[in-house]
Structure 1
Amino acid sequence: MNALLHDLRHALRCLRAQPGFCLTAVLTLMLGIGALTAIFTVYDAVLLKPLPFAQVDRIVRITRVQPPVSGPISPAALREWRERSGSAFDAFGAFVEQTATLTGTGGAERAVGYRVTPGFWDVFSQPIALGRSISVEDETRGERVVVLSDGLWRNRYGADPGVIGCDIAINGESWRVIGVAAPTFQYPAHARLWLPTLLAVHSEDRGNNSLAVVARLAPAVSLAQAREVMRGITDWQARSFPEHHANLSARIERLGTWLSSNLRDTLSMLLSAGLLVLLIACANLASLMLTRSQTRSQELAVRSALGAGRAQLIRTVLAEALLLAFAGALAAALFARLLLAGLLRLAPELLPEWNVPTLDYRALLAMLAVAMSTLLLSGLLPAWWASRTDPAQALRGGTRGQTLTRSQARARGALVMVEIALAVCLLSGAGQLIDTLRQLGQVDSGLRDPERILSARFDVALPTQTPGTDDLAWLTRVNAVLAPQVDDLLARLAALPGAESVALSDVLPASGEGGWNGGLEIEGHPVADDALVDFHFVSPDYFRTFGIALKAGRVLDISDGKGAAVPGVGVVNQAFVDRYLGGGDALGAQVHAYDGSAKTIVGVVGNVRQLGPDQPERPEIYFPIRNAPMGNLALAIRSGGDANALQPALRRLMRESFPDIPLYRIAAMDEVTGAPVQMRRVSMGLNSAFAATALILASIGLYGVITWIAAQRRREIGIRQSFGATRTHIHRLMLRSGLGLIVPGVAAGLLGAFALSRLLASQASGIGALNLRVLVLVAFGFGVIAIVACLVPTWRALRISPTQALRND
């Protein structure tokens, strides 16, 4: 122990004598390990940590697949899945989002809610902390009961256990609180309350694909066996009900796999980039340690001459590595924490709330282990070489003994070439992502001047459909409630100063939200059984507000849908005409869709990339907003200038005229249309940051090598200058040495970049192939920076006069 403490004290004195080396090593560790740790923390939270549910490995998500779409299932199909699956599943559950507005004590507050089946709670092993969950009787009788989340119970109701059995106001109706969920239960994401489903009303409905399905596998049933059971059920449904279930199949995935599927490719790509940066950092550290061994060769020789053995010399050098590892790990921890906080602020909605990424003891220990391994691996070989130095030769050689052997020089050059190759790979990958995002930014969304449109979401309270009430009667009640509110709101919004036009709709266009879809029939035009069309409900000025071009006929007007429970007219987009009408005349066509009744097509409008610029246009029908069977709506205001300037007036109007209708997601439409590619932007930004880090590290490594070469060739440079060599000749000489490292490194990096681009294109959807322009720009840009890194130390060497260079040597 005394020997170890002595070695550590000696190492600390040596490092204090070389602050430049020490700072460079710590910064290299900080960049390499800190970046990787931040990404791994997110990767671990999203993909590796188990979900906080009981026996989560048995919980699966079941998705309806009917090419070209996949998603929720209808109530009738769900009932058949449950009844025909036998003993393959212990429980079946389903849910559909039900946005709720809470009023009464505490003021109006929007809460994300879900209607769930009784089996939903069985799937998750009854995660109830107080009271009870929703029962079969609650669903059958249409009881207005609610289960609160732990967060809502604490924040709005002060964690009062007496709230159980009390009535609260939700969407203008009275609901009785029957339970509070466990603090650890949070599913689906952001859920704050759960209500019973309306399956008792819609048990035979096959056209309304709205229910997301979760299930719990029986203990002895594997995923493959469950898939086989579901294959038999869906094949039977496809044969028995081809008008609704043609080409139907079911995709079964473990819940954790399903939840992380949208982030898996991105996080894997970022983790790979972080690993490459760490490899570059390791190569840089090894190069630094080689230089360090060169400068310490005479010191080690003196200690060897005084009786120090090889093991003691190696231990001395590795003591420095130990100190650097701890300092680097500390700096990396601080850097990783900053990066992680920035990432969570950049894309909070993309990360799960049940496993929030936080730096914990595992990450810190992992950082220390990586720092130790990096320093030990990069310091062991140089220490071994230093211990083999002949003491007598080193003592006789003076400063000339402080040179690298041929093998050491080759190793250092190889390390720099590895750094260059890896940096070029990362730069090319980042360039590929940037080029893909640039191409997506040039795709026409179908909207005009979205930066001049202010958008917001809000919820209108609709009456609950009770058992025994048919759909038509309920829709008539909905229309009676919704129509006057819509008319009043549109009139008030249109009167806002600076508003050119105002629109209401069920979803915002080009936002990635999509909407409802279903089958269709067109009189006189046969369509396939699996043909689908998207439904949208919009106000008359919708197309004017968003700048969607009218191709033929007319748009909807204020009289359309008035006094009717279901729409009688519709406007289709050009994609609908091209796919189902052969590009012919659509005006007057009779389309049976949505509720099955005939709709007369009165207009054709341009296409909108509803799901984002990387998704194709889909056939769509627009119906009057008066007939919208939902209470969560979107508003949009086209302004004559800055859209965000309308925000104060909009908030004031809603607060004064509709105090029980809170607004949310207020943003200009250019921000909304950017949401579908937000994850791409995050990925591009982080990969670009990694590439920039790699470029800095590789440039530092190259600069260090050329500086060493210039120092070793000082005598040669002095002699050449004495015989008349110009500065240009000297620059050319040193540049030739640098190009011997740059050219092979860049060439290897470009080959690696090509292979990496093929891998990215195959593993991550929507990434374009790496084009020649990106490769040329990367090679040229890195070449310029590398040449500068070569010329700067040469310029410094030329500042020393030939006489002084010869005298110093």
Structure 2
Amino acid sequence: MNLTDDLRIAWRALRAQPTFFATAVLTLMLGIGAVTAIFTVYDAVLLKPLPFNDPERIVRVMRSQPPVAYSPVSAPTLRDWIERSGPAFSAIGAYVPQTLNLTGDGDAERLSGYRITPGYWDVFGQPIALGRAFGTTEDTANERVVVIGDTLWRDRFGASPDVVGRDVDLNGERWRVIGVAKPGFRYPADAQLWLPAFLPADQAERGSNSYAPVARLADGVSLDQARKVMDGITSWQAETFPESSAGLVAQVMPLRELIGSRLRTPLAVLLAAAGLVLLIACANLASLMLARGQARAQELALRSALGAGRGRLLRQVLAESLLIAAAGAAAALLVAPPAVRALLALAPGVVPAYHAPSVDLRVVAVTALIALSTLLLFGLAPAWRSAAADPIGALAGATRSQTGTRRQTRARAALVAAEIALATTLLAGAGLLIDSLRRLDAVDTGIADAAQILGAGLSLPVPSMQPGEDFAAWYPKAKAAVSSRLTAIDERLRALPGVQSVALTNVLPVSGEIGWNGGFEIAGRELPENRLVQFRFVSTDYFETFGIALRAGRVFDAADGTRAAFPIEAIVNQTFVDRYLGGGDALGVSVSTFDGSEKTIVGVVADVRQGGPDEAADAEIYFPISTIPVGDLTVAIKGSGDVLALAPALRGALREVAPEAPLFALRTMDEVTRETTRLRRFNMSLMSTFAGLAVLLASIGLYGVIAYTVGQRRREIGVRQSLGATPLDIHRLTLGAGLRMIVPGLVLGLLGALALGRVLSAQLYGIGAADPAVLGATLALLAVVGLAACAVPSLRAARVSPMEALRDE
């Protein structure tokens, strides 16, 4: 007989036992489906090649300068890298984010744009579908030309080829579209359009780091060779410009490694967790197959007696396992797409991918490989044992009154104990993540009454530098234009009923958003070489609105920021005082920052965990927001009661005073804080889901073994009862059998939990990897679940009638 005949007979046998078949397929579907869903995301984020020309040769070149790692660079530093990198790179460019408002036809639309240097397009192989890219002319003359992305071209301009050469309104100014990027090209991932970058040559700008370099390795140049070239350049910079470049190192990293890098470890841990769920499913199924083999012992013995060889019987049993594995894999592929969508919905924006996670041929192939592996895991040993059964003993009914051979019984018990151990490991890991997140939610971020503060992003148009216009002429004009708009917005929002205070800032606190940073000087003080502070620009009521405590001095008033072209007043946080002023009196100290002018410290405020509750506060200097022409800003209002009820009034007021500036990202500060921990919540949610599946499968496996044991020992139980055994004795018998599987499983699971805790340690906050409370609760919960799984078969055994049991046998 061939394989087709074996599969036909196997299908007939499985159809005769639909409950067994459905249970087996459902079990495998849960296990394989979990792995398939996580692998689909892992593959899209970390494995698939980037959709660029020759992507393996594209690298990011980043500034690493303690205490900052992987940071942008200044314009002069970038110029040095471009001019001195020589043959290491065939192209090197950089980008700076810039939000823009597109107005004109239709509603105003906020777009994610990037200022880019000329070499940017060569790095990516000139990915232009229509028109052309801009070159050095636009860079030096600051011409207003723009390349738009394919999605924007289709959504906003109807995919019209006539868009090339058309003028569009960006931030209230006319820009000419000269090109459209190829479909699928977007770098960075949120880019919708690209504009020429202006690279000032002023060496004083070495402390202002905003350019993110990206490069293409030259043909024949390895990653190590490029790193050596960059090491030589940064050594020269450190010697030539010690004030700004001491300790400077250029980190050359493949772009593929960086994209999604923060998800590499979490996704690997979750993939391993899904693998443990699959192992539990396989152990569960192997236990079912062993039980089925015992039940079919006489059938297989009869076939053996009629001439079927061991190989023939083995093929038949394996054919059944093959059908189960195939059906389980097919079911897993059906549930994988909705599972992936649900997974991504757990934390929107957490999973960046240049390829949308989808069940494609790669995923199908991996799923098929997983199904084949599960076939070997759950099917081979039971099939071999069934085919090797003693036909004479089976036909003589030797197994009728026994639980099965001792070896089979031990094998099934060992499988259940393994399931309990794996479930214990996953449940402990989920418990650690849950408790860690609970502790994070209780952290004081430095913001008071976060639920009563409503924040939203706003993009105001900032006048661009005209061709031939220098910075000194442009700055006061741009500053005046923006400052008048800020004043109008502030006054209009204060007039809204129910608004207690209003704040304007360039970066929303506790959001994790990156603002400006740079070096500074304090006259008469020796400071660390690699000092770096965060610059924040805020309105007069900023500290009151967010409830940030004033430690010394005063906050800004309306006159601050109006006395000079650049800010001359500053407020610092407590970390700045402790780190750079030795914790002493800061009031009256002069600080020189990004523009070279002296600022007098007029106040000290409490620290704020700007990166979220899991990140310590950094040194910060605050300046009046009226002193710079900031376009991308956040407005925040503090109210009482349901602050979200103020949202329509906020939108209406802003539409009155800034109709060309779309409002976006409207949310309470509570929501902002939660967003900073969304990756942790994503990990916790998935780990908890896998732990729940593991506990469910393990409890089902334990229930199945105990129920099967009770059924097989029905005559023995009847005899015991006829000899005087009480229901309590029967409970001891059945529960004792369960405990002999539960206890070893918990012990082994505890060891696994300790190992998993070490793996998860980087994702924990305020809790040890071997937290006694979490481990104790895990063991107690699984012990209760295990005993509950044994309870129903135990109660059934205690109600067995001795006469009926003996009569049935």
TM-score, normalized by length of structure 2?
0.97
Report the alpha carbon displacement of residue 564 of structure 1 after superposing the two structures with TM: 3.5
Residue 389 of structure 1: CA displacement?
A: 2.6
Question: Match for residue 46 of structure 2?
Answer: 47
Q: Please say if residues 439 and 766 of structure 2, whose CA atoms lie closer than 8 Å, have aligned partners that are also in contact.
A: no
- Helix, strand or coil: the match of 1:691? helix
- Percent identical pairs in the alignment equals 57
Which residue number corresponds to residue 802 of structure 2? 802
Shift of 1:6: 4.2
Q: Displacement, 1:345?
A: 2.2
In the TM superposition, what whole-angstrom CA distance separates every residue of 1:429-485 from its partner, at most 9, and x where no partner exists?
111212222222221100011111111001111111246544343221122111110
Q: Could you tell me which residue of structure 1 aligns to residue 559 of structure 2? A: 559
Secondary structure of 2:34's aligned partner: helix
The question of whether the paired residues in 2 share the 8 Å contact of 1:79 and 1:203 is answered with no
Structure-1 separation of matches of 2:172 and 2:763:
48
Once residues 90 and 763 of structure 1 are traced to their aligned partners in structure 2, the CA distance between those partners, rounded to angstroms, is 39
Q: Which amino acid aligns with 1:54?
A: N
Asked whether the 8 Å contact 1:426–1:753 carries over to 2, the reply is yes
**C-alpha distance after superposition, 1:292-313 (max 9, x if no partner):** 1111112222323333332332
Q: Contact 2:130/2:179 (CA < 8 Å) preserved in 1? A: yes
Q: Which moved more, 1:522-531 or 1:356-365?
A: 522-531
Q: Which runs of 5+ in 2 are unaligned?
A: none
Displacement after TM superposition at 1:77 (Å): 0.5
Is residue 2:660 matched to residue 1:657? no
Secondary structure of the residue that 1:397 maps to in structure 2?
coil
Distance in 1 (alpha carbons) for counterparts of 2:81 and 2:4:
69
Q: Secondary structure at the match of 2:602?
A: strand
Which residue is 2:747 aligned to? 747
Q: 2:201 & 2:663 partners in 1: Cα distance?
A: 31
- Compared CA separation, residues 13 and 89, structure 1 to 2 (3 A): same
What is the identity, as a one-letter code, of the residue corresponding to 2:506? D
CA distance in 1, matches of 2:152, 2:335: 35
Task: Describe the superposition over 1:47-66 as per-residue Cα deviations: whole angstroms up to 9, x where unpaired.
Answer: 11010111111110011011
8 A Cα contact 2:33 2:335, kept in partner? yes
Query: For the Cα contact (< 8 Å) 1:201–1:468, is it kept in 2?
Result: no
What number of residue pairs does the alignment pair up? 808
Partner amino acid for 1:35?
A: A
CA distance in 2, matches of 1:759, 1:341: 27
Shift of 1:100: 0.7
**Partners of 1:454 and 1:644 within 8 A in 2:** yes
Distance 1:304 1:789 in 2: 37
**1:156-189, Cα deviation, whole Å (9 max, x unpaired):** 1111111111211111111111111111211011
Letter in 2 for 1:93: G
Matched position secondary structure for 2:260 = helix
- 1:23-76 per-residue CA deviation (whole Å, 9 max, x = no partner) reads 221111111000110000110111110101111111100110111113100000
Within 5 Å, give how 1:204-243 maps onto structure 2.
205-243=205-243
Any residues of structure 2 matched to 1:490-569 within 5 Å, and which?
490-562=490-562, 564-569=564-569
How many angstroms does 1:629 deviate by? Answer: 3.6
Comparing 682-691 with 333-342, greater Cα deviation is found at: 333-342
- Trace 1:532-611 onto structure 2 (pairs within 5 A): 532-562=532-562, 564-611=564-611
Contact 2:522-2:590 at 8 Å conserved across structures: yes
Could you say which residue in structure 2 is the equivalent of 1:123? 123
Counterpart of 1:309 in structure 2 is: 309
Report the Cα offset of residue 767 of structure 1.
7.9
Partner residue of 2:189?
A: 189
Matching residue's letter, 2:10: A
Instruction: Describe the shift of the 1:622–1:274 C-alpha distance in structure 2 as closer, same or farther (beyond 3 A).
Output: same
Distance in 1 separating the partners of 2:7 and 2:120: 60
- Residue 737 of structure 2 corresponds to 737
Contact residue 74 and residue 211 of structure 1 kept, 8 A:
yes
- Other-structure match for 1:705: 705
- For 2:34, the equivalent position in structure 1 comes to 35
Q: C-alpha deviations, 1:713-756, integer Å up to 9, x for none?
A: 32332222223322222212222222211111111111121122
Runs of 5+ consecutive residues of structure 1 not aligned to the other structure: none
Deviation at 1:334, TM superposition (A): 2.2
Which residue number corresponds to residue 486 of structure 1? 486
> Which residue number in structure 2 is paired with residue 245 of structure 1?
245
Q: Where do residues 718-737 of structure 1 align in structure 2 (5 Å cutoff)?
A: 718-737=718-737
- CA 1:215–1:768 in 2, change beyond 3 Å: closer, same or farther? farther
Q: Secondary structure at the match of 1:717?
A: helix
What is the deviation of 1:203?
7.0
What letter matches 1:530 in structure 2?
N
For residues 536 and 528 of structure 1, what CA distance do their matches in structure 2 show? Answer: 21
Q: In the TM superposition, what is the alpha-carbon distance from 1:668 to its structure 2 partner?
A: 1.0
Counterpart mapping for 1:388-467 below 5 A: 388-397=388-397, 400=400, 403-466=403-466
Q: Secondary structure of the residue that 1:349 maps to in structure 2?
A: coil
| One-letter code aligned to 1:556 | F
* Matching residue of 2:66: 67
Match of 1:781 in 2: 781
Deviation at 1:626, TM superposition (A): 0.6
Indicate conservation of the 8 Å contact 2:742/2:783, yes or no: yes
Give the letter for the 1:533 counterpart. V
Deviation at 1:256? 0.7
Verify the 8 A CA contact 2:717 2:800 in the aligned structure 1: no
Alpha-carbon distance between aligned partners in 2 of 1:324 and 1:81, rounded to the nearest angstrom: 60
Secondary structure at 2:582's aligned position in 1? coil
CA deviation after TM superposition for structure 1 residue 593, in Å = 1.5
Which residue does 2:13 correspond to in 1? Answer: 14
Q: CA deviation at 1:215?
A: 0.6
Q: Does structure 2 retain, via aligned residues, the 8 Å contact 1:37–1:363?
A: yes
* Cα distance, 1:360 vs structure 2: 1.0
Q: Which amino acid aligns with 1:610?
A: Q
Secondary structure at the counterpart of residue 479 of structure 2: helix
C-alpha contact (below 8 Å) 1:393/1:401 kept by paired residues: no
Q: Which moved more, 1:578-587 or 1:134-143?
A: 578-587
Equivalence for 1:277:
277
After superposing the two structures, state which structure 1 stretch, 298-307 or 68-77, moved more.
Answer: 298-307
Shift of 1:107: 2.7
One-letter code of the match for 1:700? I
How far the C-alpha of 1:781 sits from its partner, in A, is: 0.8
- Give 2:352's aligned residue: 352
Matching residue's letter, 1:348: P
Tell me, yes or no, if the aligned pair for 2:433 and 2:764 is still in contact at 8 Å: no
1:369-411 Cα distance to aligned partner (Å, 9 max, x none): 3224313442222222222233343222187078532222222
Equivalences for residues 623-638 of structure 1 within 5 A: 623-638=623-638
Corresponding residue for residue 291 of structure 1? 291
- Equivalent position SS for 1:307: coil
Q: Which amino acid aligns with 1:619?
A: A
Match of 2:82 in 1: 82
AA paired with 1:384?
A: W
Task: State whether residues 75 and 204 of structure 1, in contact with CA within 8 Å, keep that contact through their aligned partners in structure 2.
Answer: no
> Post-superposition shift, 1:657?
3.5
**Mapped contact 1:101–1:170 kept (Cα < 8 A):** yes
Using the size of structure 1 for normalisation, the TM-score is 0.97
Query: Residue 260 of structure 2 contacts residue 353 of structure 2 at CA under 8 Å; is this kept in 1?
Result: no
Deviation larger for 6-15 or 420-429: 6-15
Once the 2 structures are TM-superposed, how far is the Cα of residue 353 of structure 1 from its aligned partner? Answer: 4.3
- Partner SS for 2:179: strand
Question: Aligned equivalents of 1:168 and 1:203: distance in 2?
Answer: 34
Q: 2: distance between equivalents of 1:508 and 1:516?
A: 13
